[in-house]
């Protein structure tokens, strides 16, 4: 696909030429690719010829997805993974060694936090957490670190980081930067343009958009992605499958229109909640003034709020009919999830601090239902919570 200087929406809707002049790329559902000759195999394995060998390391349908994400992120290349966590653990493990230190922003996506707190320490890798909004704190933590891991906005509390300032700081200390850009998608935030080194996404959320795929992706320069190719992808073996890649290519076509609809509906819902007496505070990057048109170009459909003391989170959640109770987000359907359950899962006295939420925090994903129906649903649940 040659994207030249096309607008992101055009890249996703438009398509190149495929076999049989089909408008949709085929699903190349094969495990291996055969060679015409000994010499061709030899050249391929020596790296002199680029072609598919085995779908654990590369596949043409997966490449269709990868090249679209790379174009959207302004990256030279990208790699699809079997999940967002596979993308995150792959990007991290390709770049840290025993005895090295990671600096991460606080309030990470819970399974990323657990990766840093449970698996990595077994290999002698330690993580320090900082308030990513405090540049002095970030600067103080960086000397001697190998990697700075960002998530902007963060899960649950939606804190943001100044990517250009942080990227410059990290470069000064020769620290590699990785950001989880799942909430904003490359349509609303392009971290590489602000000096961040690698972007990771769960593709299970907005990139898919239909709650039917678990997948992930890492985007960056050819050189940085080559480190993943050489160091982790063949051995961790968590490559994206051709069928999931095909679903993602299909999901991406409507990313721009879906995201606009999520944004508009979520803003109406968030403002409505902010005006309710039952609600103490709403955490939404646009309401918090974080959509600056420079780094963050808009907002998506995920945010959280806190219910006043004395009201029942359980009765509120159970009274909802359209907002269904479940993890994940980014699909067509509206979802609710109470922080209390996440905190219980996480366990330990530090979990509330780690995720930055009180047990009265409730996360909403505003889907593609009509907003009047969603407000009526919330209104009923507010009454039930009393």
Ligand X SMILES: *Cc1c(COP(=O)(O)O)cnc(C)c1O
Cβ at position 41, least distance to ligand X in Å? 35
56 is catalytic: yes
How big is the site for ligand X, counted in residues (CB under 6 A)? 12
Interface pattern 140-179 for ligand X (x via CB under 6 A): ---------------x------------------------
User: According to CB under 6 A, which residues from 341 to 360 bind ligand X?
Assistant: none
Measured from the CB of residue 14, what is the shortest distance to ligand X in angstroms? 27
User: Cα dihedral sign for 239, 243, 249, 252?
Assistant: negative
Residue 341: phi, psi to the nearest 5?
-70, -40
Shorter beta-carbon distance to ligand X: residue 204 or 342: 204
Residues 115, 91: contact at Cβ < 8 Å? no
Helix (H, G, I), strand (E, B) or coil at 195: coil
Contacts of 80 (CB under 8 A, 6+ apart): 62, 65, 66, 69, 203, 215, 216, 217, 239, 240, 244, 245, 248
Single out the catalytic residue among 68, 109, 239, 258: 109
Active site residue 235: no
Indicate the residue among 8 and 216 with the shorter CB distance to ligand X: 216
Please tell me the distance from the alpha carbon of residue 55 to that of residue 32, in angstroms, as a whole number: 6
Work out whether 256 is an interface residue with ligand X (CB under 6 A). no
Q: How far is the CB of 214 from ligand X (least distance, A)?
A: 5
> Would you say 208 or 385 has its CB closer to ligand X?
208
355 or 381: CB nearest ligand X: 355
Tokens of 63: 């490449």
- Say if residues 53 and 62 touch (Cβ distance below 8 Å): no
CA 131 to chain centre: 20
Q: Of 174-233, which residues contact ligand X (CB under 6 A)?
A: 180, 182, 202, 204-205, 214, 216
Nearest to 147 by CA among 227, 75, 210: 227
Binding mask 262-281 for ligand X (x = CB under 6 A): --------------------
Report yes or no: 134 and 166 within 8 Å, Cβ to Cβ. no
Site for ligand X in 85-114 (CB under 6 A): 85, 109
- Least separation in angstroms between CB 127 and ligand X: 16
Which residues in the 285-324 window bind ligand X by CB under 6 A?
A: none
Binding mask 113-142 for ligand X (x = CB under 6 A): ------------------------------
Q: Of the listed 205, 224, 283, 363, which one is catalytic?
A: 205
25-84 positions binding ligand X, by CB under 6 A: 83-84
φ, ψ dihedrals at 16, nearest 5°: -80, -160
Minimum gap (Å) between residue 274 Cβ and ligand X: 23
Instruction: Please give the C-alpha separations between residue 131 and each of 118, 125, 200, 297, in angstroms, as whole numbers.
Output: 21, 20, 20, 22
The residue (of 236 and 319) whose beta carbon lies closer to ligand X is 236
Q: How would you list the strands of the sheet with 279-283, edge to edge?
A: 279-283, 302-307, 361-365, 335-338, 324-325
Query: In the complex with ligand X, which residue's Cβ is closer, 305 or 337?
Result: 337
List, in sequence order, the alpha helices (H) in 142-281: 163-172, 185-188, 222-231, 233-236, 242-252, 255-274
Q: Which is it for strands 147-151 and 176-180: parallel, antiparallel or unpaired? A: parallel
Nearest residue (CB) to ligand X, 81 versus 316: 81
**Catalytic residue of the set 162, 180, 197, 377:** 180
Active-site annotation holds for 180: yes
In this chain, which residue has its C-beta nearest to ligand X? 84
| Residues near ligand X (CB under 6 A) | 83-85, 109, 155, 180, 182, 202, 204-205, 214, 216
Residues catalogued as catalytic: 56, 109, 180, 205
């Amino acid at each position: 696909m040659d994207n030249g200087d096309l607008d992101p929406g055009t890249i996703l809707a438009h398509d190149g030429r495929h076999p049989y002049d089909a408008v949709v790329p085929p699903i190349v559902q094969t495990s291996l690719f055969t060679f015409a000759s000994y010499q061709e195999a030899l050249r391929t394995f020596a790296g002199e010829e680029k072609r598919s060998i085995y779908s654990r390391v590369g596949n043409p349908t997966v490449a269709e997805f990868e090249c679209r994400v790379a174009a959207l992120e302004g990256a030279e290349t990208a790699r699809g993974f079997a999940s967002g966590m596979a993308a995150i653990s792959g990007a991290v493990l390709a770049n840290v060694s025993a005895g090295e230190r990671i600096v991460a922003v606080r309030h990470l996506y819970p399974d990323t936090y657990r990766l840093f707190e449970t698996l990595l320490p077994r290999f002698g890798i330690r993580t320090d957490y900082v308030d990513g909004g405090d540049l002095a704190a970030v600067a103080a933590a960086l000397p001697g670190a190998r990697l700075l891991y960002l998530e902007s906005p963060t899960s649950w509390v939606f804190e943001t980081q100044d990517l250009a300032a942080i990227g410059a700081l990290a470069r000064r200390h020769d620290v590699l930067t990785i950001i989880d850009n799942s909430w904003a998608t490359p349509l609303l935030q392009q971290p590489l343009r602000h000096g961040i080194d690698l972007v990771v996404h769960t593709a299970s959320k907005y990139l898919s958009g239909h709650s039917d795929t678990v997948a992930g992706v890492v985007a960056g320069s050819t050189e940085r992605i080559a480190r993943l190719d050489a160091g982790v992808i063949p051995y961790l073996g968590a490559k994206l499958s051709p069928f999931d890649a095909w679903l993602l290519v299909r999901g991406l076509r409507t990313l721009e229109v879906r995201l606009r609809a999520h944004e508009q509906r979520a803003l109406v819902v968030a403002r409505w909640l902010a005006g309710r007496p039952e609600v103490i505070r709403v955490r939404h990057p646009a309401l918090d003034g974080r959509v600056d048109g420079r780094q963050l170009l808009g907002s998506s459909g995920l945010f959280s709020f806190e219910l006043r003391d004395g009201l029942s989170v359980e009765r509120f959640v159970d009274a909802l009919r359209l907002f269904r109770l479940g993890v994940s987000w980014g699909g067509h359907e509206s979802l609710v999830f109470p922080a209390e359950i996440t905190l219980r899962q996480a366990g330990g006295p530090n979990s509330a601090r780690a995720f930055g939420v009180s047990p009265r925090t409730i996360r909403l994903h505003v889907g593609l239902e009509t907003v009047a129906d969603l407000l009526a649903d919330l209104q009923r649940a507010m009454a039930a919570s009393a």
